[in-house]
Amino acid sequence: MERFADELDLAQYQTDLLTTSAIAAIRQQITAEPGREHCLDCGAPIPLARLRQVPSATRCTLCQEDHEAQISRHRRH
């Protein structure tokens, strides 16, 4: 039963992260200047090379790596 509760907590946490990220991405798209994207986490401009490779990128490479590591850590617990 305890494992189920832990898995449920993890699922809720992941849902909250995704929801928060989605809302932030939408907010950024609404307020962003055309052709100029900024990282959701640090606010720095996302390099053009990254946007060419991943047009839907909402984070710079470093922040995206940190975000994925955080999700991965929570999945292991």
pLDDT given for residue 33 in this prediction: 53
Judge contact between 36 and 45, C-beta under 8 A: yes
Tell me the whole-structure pTM to 2 decimals: 0.53
Q: How far apart are alpha carbons 39 and 21 in whole angstroms?
A: 11
Tally of domains within the chain: 1
Q: In this predicted structure, what is the pLDDT of residue 68?
A: 93
SS3 for 37? coil
What is the span of the domain harbouring residue 8?
A: 2-76
Which tokens belong to 76? Answer: 């292991």
3-state secondary structure of 47: coil
Is the per-residue pLDDT at 27 higher than 80? Answer: no
